[in-house]
Protein backbone atom coordinates (compact mmCIF):
# COMPACT_ATOMS: atom_id res chain seq x y z
CA UNK A 1 0.00 0.00 0.00
CA UNK A 2 1.08 3.58 -0.62
CA UNK A 3 0.02 5.53 2.45
CA UNK A 4 0.17 9.15 3.47
CA UNK A 5 0.43 9.92 7.18
CA UNK A 6 -0.38 13.53 8.07
CA UNK A 7 1.11 14.56 11.41
CA UNK A 8 3.79 11.90 10.82
CA UNK A 9 6.23 13.53 13.23
CA UNK A 10 3.81 13.55 16.16
CA UNK A 11 3.21 11.10 19.01
CA UNK A 12 0.68 8.82 17.33
CA UNK A 13 1.65 9.60 13.70
CA UNK A 14 5.30 8.61 14.16
CA UNK A 15 4.31 5.39 15.93
CA UNK A 16 1.97 4.56 13.03
CA UNK A 17 4.76 5.39 10.54
CA UNK A 18 7.05 2.88 12.31
CA UNK A 19 4.39 0.17 11.97
CA UNK A 20 3.61 0.85 8.29
CA UNK A 21 7.29 0.86 7.30
CA UNK A 22 7.93 -2.31 9.32
CA UNK A 23 5.11 -3.96 7.33
CA UNK A 24 6.83 -2.95 4.06
CA UNK A 25 4.44 -0.22 2.92
CA UNK A 26 5.45 2.98 1.14
CA UNK A 27 4.86 5.99 3.38
CA UNK A 28 4.73 9.69 2.61
CA UNK A 29 4.95 11.61 5.88
CA UNK A 30 3.38 15.08 5.93
CA UNK A 31 4.06 17.43 8.82
CA UNK A 32 4.65 21.15 9.24
CA UNK A 33 6.65 20.63 12.47
CA UNK A 34 4.52 23.24 14.21
CA UNK A 35 5.81 25.09 17.26
CA UNK A 36 3.39 23.50 19.77
CA UNK A 37 6.25 21.39 21.10
CA UNK A 38 9.78 20.67 19.90
CA UNK A 39 11.97 17.61 19.33
CA UNK A 40 9.63 15.77 16.94
CA UNK A 41 12.19 15.14 14.20
CA UNK A 42 13.99 12.60 16.37
CA UNK A 43 11.02 10.21 16.07
CA UNK A 44 11.42 10.09 12.28
CA UNK A 45 15.17 10.52 11.80
CA UNK A 46 15.89 6.78 11.64
CA UNK A 47 13.58 6.49 8.60
CA UNK A 48 15.13 9.28 6.55
CA UNK A 49 17.44 6.86 4.69
CA UNK A 50 14.63 4.36 4.04
CA UNK A 51 13.73 4.27 0.31
CA UNK A 52 10.09 3.55 1.22
CA UNK A 53 9.78 6.75 3.23
CA UNK A 54 9.44 10.30 2.00
CA UNK A 55 9.07 13.23 4.39
CA UNK A 56 7.33 16.38 3.16
CA UNK A 57 7.41 19.50 5.31
CA UNK A 58 3.93 20.58 4.29
CA UNK A 59 1.13 22.45 6.03
CA UNK A 60 -2.28 20.81 5.63
CA UNK A 61 -3.67 24.33 5.22
CA UNK A 62 -1.82 24.49 1.86
CA UNK A 63 -4.29 22.69 -0.40
CA UNK A 64 -2.10 22.66 -3.52
CA UNK A 65 0.85 21.17 -1.67
CA UNK A 66 -1.48 18.62 -0.06
CA UNK A 67 -2.82 17.54 -3.48
CA UNK A 68 0.75 16.93 -4.65
CA UNK A 69 1.61 14.90 -1.58
CA UNK A 70 -1.49 12.69 -2.07
CA UNK A 71 -0.60 11.72 -5.68
CA UNK A 72 -0.93 7.91 -6.15
CA UNK A 73 -1.84 7.35 -2.49
CA UNK A 74 -4.21 4.47 -1.62
CA UNK A 75 -4.95 5.54 1.93
CA UNK A 76 -4.49 8.76 3.90
CA UNK A 77 -4.09 8.39 7.66
CA UNK A 78 -4.92 11.88 8.91
CA UNK A 79 -3.42 12.71 12.30
CA UNK A 80 -2.17 16.29 11.83
CA UNK A 81 -4.00 18.61 14.21
CA UNK A 82 -3.73 21.14 16.93
CA UNK A 83 -4.24 18.61 19.71
CA UNK A 84 -5.17 19.61 23.25
CA UNK A 85 -8.20 21.08 25.00
CA UNK A 86 -6.42 23.82 26.98
CA UNK A 87 -4.75 25.55 24.03
CA UNK A 88 -8.10 25.51 22.23
CA UNK A 89 -9.71 27.40 25.12
CA UNK A 90 -6.93 30.01 24.86
CA UNK A 91 -6.84 30.18 21.07
CA UNK A 92 -9.96 28.66 19.45
CA UNK A 93 -9.07 29.85 15.94
CA UNK A 94 -5.79 27.96 15.99
CA UNK A 95 -7.64 24.70 16.70
CA UNK A 96 -10.34 25.50 14.18
CA UNK A 97 -7.84 26.18 11.38
CA UNK A 98 -5.73 23.08 11.96
CA UNK A 99 -8.53 20.67 12.87
CA UNK A 100 -11.59 21.71 10.87
CA UNK A 101 -10.19 23.60 7.87
CA UNK A 102 -7.20 21.21 7.85
CA UNK A 103 -9.46 18.15 7.69
CA UNK A 104 -11.61 19.76 4.99
CA UNK A 105 -8.43 20.28 2.95
CA UNK A 106 -7.36 16.66 3.49
CA UNK A 107 -10.77 15.48 2.24
CA UNK A 108 -10.70 17.81 -0.79
CA UNK A 109 -7.19 16.71 -1.76
CA UNK A 110 -8.09 13.03 -1.23
CA UNK A 111 -11.23 13.37 -3.36
CA UNK A 112 -9.36 15.17 -6.14
CA UNK A 113 -6.44 12.71 -6.17
CA UNK A 114 -8.65 9.59 -6.15
CA UNK A 115 -7.50 8.34 -2.74
CA UNK A 116 -9.39 5.17 -1.81
CA UNK A 117 -9.88 5.91 1.90
CA UNK A 118 -9.25 8.57 4.56
CA UNK A 119 -8.80 7.47 8.17
CA UNK A 120 -9.32 10.61 10.25
CA UNK A 121 -8.53 11.29 13.91
CA UNK A 122 -11.33 12.42 16.19
CA UNK A 123 -11.60 12.42 19.95
CA UNK A 124 -13.68 11.20 22.87
CA UNK A 125 -14.05 14.88 23.75
CA UNK A 126 -16.85 15.16 21.16
CA UNK A 127 -19.20 13.54 23.73
CA UNK A 128 -18.66 16.38 26.21
CA UNK A 129 -20.01 15.25 29.58
CA UNK A 130 -21.46 12.04 28.14
CA UNK A 131 -25.12 11.29 28.79
CA UNK A 132 -24.24 7.64 29.52
CA UNK A 133 -21.10 5.70 30.30
CA UNK A 134 -19.59 3.84 28.57
CA UNK A 135 -20.34 6.15 25.63
CA UNK A 136 -21.44 4.65 22.33
CA UNK A 137 -21.01 6.24 18.92
CA UNK A 138 -24.72 6.97 18.48
CA UNK A 139 -24.92 8.92 21.76
CA UNK A 140 -25.38 12.72 21.74
CA UNK A 141 -22.27 14.80 21.06
CA UNK A 142 -22.16 18.05 23.05
CA UNK A 143 -18.64 19.54 22.91
CA UNK A 144 -17.57 21.66 25.89
CA UNK A 145 -14.29 22.93 24.38
CA UNK A 146 -13.32 24.52 21.06
CA UNK A 147 -11.05 21.51 20.46
CA UNK A 148 -14.01 19.12 20.72
CA UNK A 149 -16.15 21.37 18.49
CA UNK A 150 -13.39 21.48 15.85
CA UNK A 151 -13.11 17.67 15.90
CA UNK A 152 -16.87 17.19 15.68
CA UNK A 153 -17.03 19.54 12.67
CA UNK A 154 -14.22 17.52 11.06
CA UNK A 155 -16.21 14.31 11.64
CA UNK A 156 -19.20 15.87 9.91
CA UNK A 157 -17.06 16.76 6.89
CA UNK A 158 -15.87 13.14 6.71
CA UNK A 159 -19.45 11.87 6.73
CA UNK A 160 -20.50 14.48 4.19
CA UNK A 161 -17.68 13.64 1.77
CA UNK A 162 -18.78 10.02 1.86
CA UNK A 163 -22.39 10.95 1.17
CA UNK A 164 -21.72 13.68 -1.43
CA UNK A 165 -18.67 12.34 -3.26
CA UNK A 166 -18.45 8.67 -2.25
CA UNK A 167 -15.08 9.21 -0.55
CA UNK A 168 -14.61 6.35 1.92
CA UNK A 169 -13.74 7.68 5.35
CA UNK A 170 -13.87 6.92 9.04
CA UNK A 171 -13.37 9.13 12.12
CA UNK A 172 -11.66 7.40 15.01
CA UNK A 173 -12.57 8.76 18.43
CA UNK A 174 -9.42 8.14 20.46
CA UNK A 175 -9.73 8.13 24.24
CA UNK A 176 -6.70 9.66 26.08
CA UNK A 177 -3.78 8.00 24.32
CA UNK A 178 -0.58 7.39 26.31
CA UNK A 179 2.73 5.61 25.85
CA UNK A 180 6.26 6.26 24.56
CA UNK A 181 6.61 9.62 22.69
CA UNK A 182 3.56 11.03 24.46
CA UNK A 183 3.14 14.78 23.97
CA UNK A 184 4.75 16.94 26.67
CA UNK A 185 1.45 18.72 27.44
CA UNK A 186 -0.29 15.49 28.50
CA UNK A 187 -0.96 14.68 32.14
CA UNK A 188 0.81 11.31 32.46
CA UNK A 189 4.00 12.80 31.04
CA UNK A 190 3.82 15.90 33.24
CA UNK A 191 3.23 13.84 36.41
CA UNK A 192 6.15 11.53 35.53
CA UNK A 193 8.45 14.41 34.69
CA UNK A 194 7.76 16.20 37.96
CA UNK A 195 8.10 13.03 40.04
CA UNK A 196 11.51 12.26 38.49
CA UNK A 197 12.59 15.81 39.42
CA UNK A 198 11.32 15.30 42.98
CA UNK A 199 8.40 17.73 42.51
CA UNK A 200 4.88 17.16 43.82
CA UNK A 201 2.28 16.15 41.22
CA UNK A 202 -0.16 18.98 40.44
CA UNK A 203 -3.69 17.70 39.85
CA UNK A 204 -6.42 19.91 38.40
CA UNK A 205 -9.59 19.47 40.49
CA UNK A 206 -10.07 16.79 43.15
CA UNK A 207 -8.52 14.05 40.97
CA UNK A 208 -11.69 11.96 41.04
CA UNK A 209 -12.28 12.66 37.33
CA UNK A 210 -11.82 9.42 35.38
CA UNK A 211 -10.29 8.64 32.01
CA UNK A 212 -10.36 5.72 29.61
CA UNK A 213 -6.60 5.60 28.91
CA UNK A 214 -5.65 3.79 25.70
CA UNK A 215 -2.12 2.58 24.95
CA UNK A 216 -0.55 3.95 21.78
CA UNK A 217 0.27 0.57 20.16
CA UNK A 218 -3.40 -0.44 20.48
CA UNK A 219 -4.50 2.84 18.89
CA UNK A 220 -2.05 2.43 16.02
CA UNK A 221 -3.23 -1.16 15.50
CA UNK A 222 -6.81 0.12 15.15
CA UNK A 223 -5.78 2.90 12.74
CA UNK A 224 -3.87 0.42 10.56
CA UNK A 225 -6.85 -1.98 10.41
CA UNK A 226 -9.01 0.83 9.01
CA UNK A 227 -7.12 0.66 5.70
CA UNK A 228 -8.54 -2.77 4.85
CA UNK A 229 -11.78 -3.13 6.83
CA UNK A 230 -15.23 -3.13 5.18
CA UNK A 231 -16.31 0.37 4.05
CA UNK A 232 -16.91 2.39 7.25
CA UNK A 233 -19.25 4.71 5.28
CA UNK A 234 -18.08 7.96 6.83
CA UNK A 235 -18.93 6.86 10.37
CA UNK A 236 -17.20 7.20 13.73
CA UNK A 237 -15.62 4.50 15.92
CA UNK A 238 -14.60 4.62 19.58
CA UNK A 239 -10.99 3.54 20.07
CA UNK A 240 -10.69 2.98 23.80
CA UNK A 241 -9.52 0.48 26.39
CA UNK A 242 -13.06 0.08 27.75
CA UNK A 243 -12.01 0.65 31.37
CA UNK A 244 -11.53 3.76 33.48
CA UNK A 245 -9.07 4.96 36.08
CA UNK A 246 -9.22 8.12 38.21
CA UNK A 247 -6.50 10.72 37.89
CA UNK A 248 -5.68 10.15 41.59
CA UNK A 249 -5.10 6.45 40.85
CA UNK A 250 -2.86 7.24 37.88
CA UNK A 251 -0.78 9.62 39.95
CA UNK A 252 -0.38 7.03 42.67
CA UNK A 253 0.73 4.37 40.11
CA UNK A 254 3.26 6.79 38.60
CA UNK A 255 4.69 7.71 42.00
CA UNK A 256 5.06 4.00 42.77
CA UNK A 257 6.70 3.29 39.37
CA UNK A 258 9.30 6.03 39.86
CA UNK A 259 9.83 5.21 43.55
CA UNK A 260 8.57 8.59 44.86
CA UNK A 261 5.51 7.63 46.90
CA UNK A 262 6.64 10.24 49.42
CA UNK A 263 5.49 13.08 47.13
CA UNK A 264 2.10 14.41 48.22
CA UNK A 265 -0.15 15.52 45.31
CA UNK A 266 -1.16 19.17 45.21
CA UNK A 267 -4.66 20.09 43.96
CA UNK A 268 -5.24 23.08 41.67
CA UNK A 269 -8.53 24.53 40.36
CA UNK A 270 -10.33 22.52 37.64
CA UNK A 271 -9.64 23.63 34.07
CA UNK A 272 -12.39 24.90 31.74
CA UNK A 273 -13.07 22.56 28.81
CA UNK A 274 -12.07 19.38 30.68
CA UNK A 275 -14.82 16.75 30.90
CA UNK A 276 -15.47 14.90 34.16
CA UNK A 277 -15.38 11.33 32.90
CA UNK A 278 -14.49 9.47 29.74
CA UNK A 279 -15.30 5.84 29.19
CA UNK A 280 -16.02 4.26 25.86
CA UNK A 281 -17.63 1.15 24.43
CA UNK A 282 -15.47 -0.20 21.59
CA UNK A 283 -17.93 -2.87 20.42
CA UNK A 284 -18.36 -1.24 17.01
CA UNK A 285 -14.58 -1.19 16.37
CA UNK A 286 -14.36 -4.80 17.49
CA UNK A 287 -17.05 -5.74 14.99
CA UNK A 288 -15.79 -3.73 12.01
CA UNK A 289 -12.03 -4.02 12.52
CA UNK A 290 -11.70 -7.26 14.48
CA UNK A 291 -9.80 -5.06 16.93
CA UNK A 292 -9.50 -5.13 20.66
CA UNK A 293 -7.14 -3.39 23.07
CA UNK A 294 -4.34 -5.57 24.44
CA UNK A 295 -2.35 -3.37 26.81
CA UNK A 296 -3.91 -2.62 30.17
CA UNK A 297 -2.98 0.33 32.35
CA UNK A 298 -0.37 -1.22 34.65
CA UNK A 299 1.67 -2.62 31.79
CA UNK A 300 1.25 0.49 29.62
CA UNK A 301 2.26 2.85 32.41
CA UNK A 302 5.34 0.73 33.10
CA UNK A 303 6.33 0.88 29.44
CA UNK A 304 5.82 4.65 29.37
CA UNK A 305 7.86 5.28 32.51
CA UNK A 306 10.70 3.06 31.20
CA UNK A 307 10.74 5.01 27.92
CA UNK A 308 10.60 8.34 29.68
CA UNK A 309 13.50 7.52 32.00
CA UNK A 310 15.75 6.24 29.21
CA UNK A 311 14.79 8.22 26.11
CA UNK A 312 12.05 10.76 26.72
CA UNK A 313 13.55 12.97 29.42
CA UNK A 314 16.54 14.38 27.55
N1 LIG B 1 -3.03 11.94 22.09
C2 LIG B 1 -4.31 11.79 22.44
O3 LIG B 1 -4.63 11.42 23.58
C4 LIG B 1 -5.39 12.08 21.44
C5 LIG B 1 -6.74 11.87 21.84
C6 LIG B 1 -7.75 12.14 20.94
C7 LIG B 1 -7.45 12.55 19.65
N8 LIG B 1 -6.15 12.75 19.28
C9 LIG B 1 -5.86 13.18 17.93
O10 LIG B 1 -4.88 12.32 17.36
C11 LIG B 1 -4.07 13.05 16.45
C12 LIG B 1 -2.60 12.91 16.81
O13 LIG B 1 -2.41 13.43 18.13
P14 LIG B 1 -0.99 13.42 18.86
O15 LIG B 1 -1.24 13.28 20.30
O16 LIG B 1 -0.08 12.48 18.15
O17 LIG B 1 -0.55 14.94 18.61
P18 LIG B 1 0.85 15.54 18.14
O19 LIG B 1 0.77 17.01 18.42
O20 LIG B 1 1.98 14.79 18.74
O21 LIG B 1 0.86 15.29 16.58
C22 LIG B 1 0.25 16.15 15.65
C23 LIG B 1 1.24 16.42 14.54
O24 LIG B 1 0.58 17.24 13.56
C25 LIG B 1 1.48 18.24 13.13
N26 LIG B 1 0.69 19.38 12.65
C27 LIG B 1 -0.03 20.24 13.40
N28 LIG B 1 -0.62 21.15 12.60
C29 LIG B 1 -0.27 20.83 11.33
C30 LIG B 1 -0.54 21.42 10.05
N31 LIG B 1 -1.30 22.52 9.95
N32 LIG B 1 -0.01 20.85 8.95
C33 LIG B 1 0.78 19.74 9.06
N34 LIG B 1 1.08 19.15 10.23
C35 LIG B 1 0.56 19.70 11.35
C36 LIG B 1 2.34 18.56 14.33
O37 LIG B 1 3.60 19.12 13.95
C38 LIG B 1 2.48 17.18 14.99
O39 LIG B 1 3.65 16.52 14.53
C40 LIG B 1 -4.59 14.49 16.47
O41 LIG B 1 -5.53 14.63 15.43
C42 LIG B 1 -5.28 14.56 17.82
O43 LIG B 1 -6.26 15.59 17.85
C44 LIG B 1 -5.11 12.52 20.15
User: What confidence tens digit (pLDDT) does each residue in 194-216 have?
Assistant: 999 999 999 999 999 999 999 99
Q: What is the pLDDT of residue 288?
A: 98
| Of the candidates 121, 105, 122, the residue with the CA atom closest to the CA atom of residue 161 | 105
61: DSSP letter: T
What's the pLDDT score for residue 105?
A: 98
Q: What are residue 3's phi and psi, to 5 degrees?
A: -115, 145
**The model's pTM:** 0.98
Other CB atoms within 10 A of residue 217 CB: 17
Whole-angstrom Cα distance, residue 177 to residue 188? 10
74 burial via Cβ count (<10 Å: 0-12, 13-18, 19+): middle
Report the distance separating Cα 173 and Cα 311, nearest Å: 28
Domain positions in the chain are 2-174+215-239+280-293
**Would you say residue 263 has pLDDT above 80?**
yes
What is the tens place of the pLDDT at every residue in 152-188? Answer: 999 999 999 999 999 999 999 999 999 999 999 999 9
Does position 226 have pLDDT exceeding 90, yes or no? yes
From the CA of 96, how far away is ligand 1's center (Å)?
A: 13
> Is 174 a pocket residue for ligand 1 (Cβ < 6 Å)?
yes
Span 89-109, average pLDDT: 98
213 phi and psi angles, rounded to 5 deg: -80, 135
pLDDT (0 to 100) of residue 312: 85
Q: In terms of Cα–Cα distance, which of 4, 5, 3 is closest to 13?
A: 5
Taking 80 as the threshold, does the pLDDT of residue 314 lie above it?
A: no
Mean predicted confidence (pLDDT) in 73-101: 98
Per-residue pLDDT at 237 exceeds 80: yes
**With a 6 A CB cut-off, is 81 part of the ligand 1 pocket?**
yes
Question: Catalytic residues, which ones?
Answer: 147
Fold of 2-174+215-239+280-293: Rossmann fold (3.40.50)
pLDDT digits (tens, 9 = 90+) for 34-56: 999 999 999 999 999 999 999 99
Question: How far, in Å, is the centroid of ligand 1 from the Cα of 82?
Answer: 6
Q: In Å, what is the CA distance from 61 to each residue of 6, 80, 99, 280?
A: 12, 11, 10, 31
Q: What is the mean pLDDT of the chain?
A: 97
Q: Is the CB of 34 under 6 A from ligand 1?
A: yes
Confidence label for 313 from pLDDT (cuts 50, 70 and 90): confident
Q: Is 168 in the pocket of ligand 1 (CB under 6 A)?
A: no
pLDDT at 268: 96
Residue 112, pLDDT score: 98
Helix (H) or strand (E) holding 192: helix 187-196
Q: What is the per-residue pLDDT for 3?
A: 98
Among 80, 119, 126, 152, the mutation site with the greatest number of ligand 1 atoms within 8 A of its Cβ is 80
Amino acid sequence: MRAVVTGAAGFIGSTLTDLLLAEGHEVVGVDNFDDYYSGKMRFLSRHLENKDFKLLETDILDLDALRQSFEDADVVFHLAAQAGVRISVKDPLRSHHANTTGTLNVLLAARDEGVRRVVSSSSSSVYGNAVRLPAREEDPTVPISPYAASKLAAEQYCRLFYELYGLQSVSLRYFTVYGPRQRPDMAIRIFTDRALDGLRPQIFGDGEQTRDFTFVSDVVDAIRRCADCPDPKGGALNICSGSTVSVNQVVSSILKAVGREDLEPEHLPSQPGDVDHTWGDSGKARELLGWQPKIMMDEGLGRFVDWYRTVGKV
